[in-house]
Structure 1
Amino acid sequence: MAKTADIQFDQFLAEATITTHDRSDSTLGRDCFYGLYTSWCWLKQSVPLPENIFWAALKAKGIHPVGNGLAMTGPAAADYILASYPDLA
């Protein structure tokens, strides 16, 4: 299971995030990051792993919830934004 989760998180990071080289608060925060992950899972038709497992896996990859230098991109980003702000649709 752990190996499958690692592959899933690697794929999520590759498809739904970009590096901004900006470690400020303008990058993905905790709630937004997990929300992006759940949107990505929904688009992939897979069940998101619990938040504690998500953060443990990202911590093992050296990614922290604050000041991570990552921003959202791709279809999961669009889905997350539209789900978060339905008046935009």
Structure 2
Amino acid sequence: MTDTQISSFIRDCVVFEDDTENGLDFDTFYGLYISWCVLGRKIPIPDSAFKTALQLEGFRPIKENGRRIYPGMSMVGAAARDYVVNSVPLWSESETSVPVLSDIAEEPVPSIA
């Protein structure tokens, strides 16, 4: 059997667990794949081809709350770290700036007598 790009990715980045409550949703799975491609300087396939490749590898998602979940899977390795670090939303300046006076609830100021 020849080793495909997808099978190499799965071998490098995914562990299988018996706990079926855990899993990867399709967007996370594909994002992990993109990180793996970037780190390995590989050209990624489009998400529709990725979905087909997963099916050819025998992976079948389940529907959960309108999302496709691949149960029993967790991400590992350098691509997982890269995906997590680069998936954290950036703070906007307004979230990190000092509160404006109008944002602070008015409380009576004690008088000094």
Pick the TM interval, shorter chain. 0.7 to 0.9
Q: 2:86 aligns with which of 70, 83, 87?
A: 83
Contact 1:41 1:48 in 2 (8 A): yes
Q: Percent identity?
A: 38
Deviates more, 1:43-52 or 1:62-71: 62-71
Greater strand percent: which structure?
Answer: 2
- Residues 78 and 86 of structure 1: CA distance in aligned 2, closer, same or farther (over 3 Å): farther
Quick check: which one's helix share is greater?
A: 1
From the superposition, tell whether residues 71 and 60 of structure 1 become closer, same or farther in structure 2 (CA, over 3 Å): same
**Long gaps (5+) in structure 2:** 62-68, 91-113
Structure scoring higher RCO (CA < 8 A, sep ≥ 6) equals: 1
Gaps of at least 5 residues in structure 1 are none
User: Do 2:15 and 2:74's aligned partners in 1 also have CA atoms closer than 8 Å?
Assistant: yes
TM-score normalised by L of structure 1:
0.82
Q: 1:67 deviation in Å? A: 3.8
Which of 15, 23, 30 in structure 1 is aligned with 2:12?
A: 15
Larger radius of gyration: 2
TM-score by length of 2: 0.66
How many residues end up aligned between the 2 structures? 82
| Kept in 2: contact 1:23–1:67 (CA 8 A) | no
The 3-state SS of whatever aligns with 2:19 is coil
RMSD: 1.6
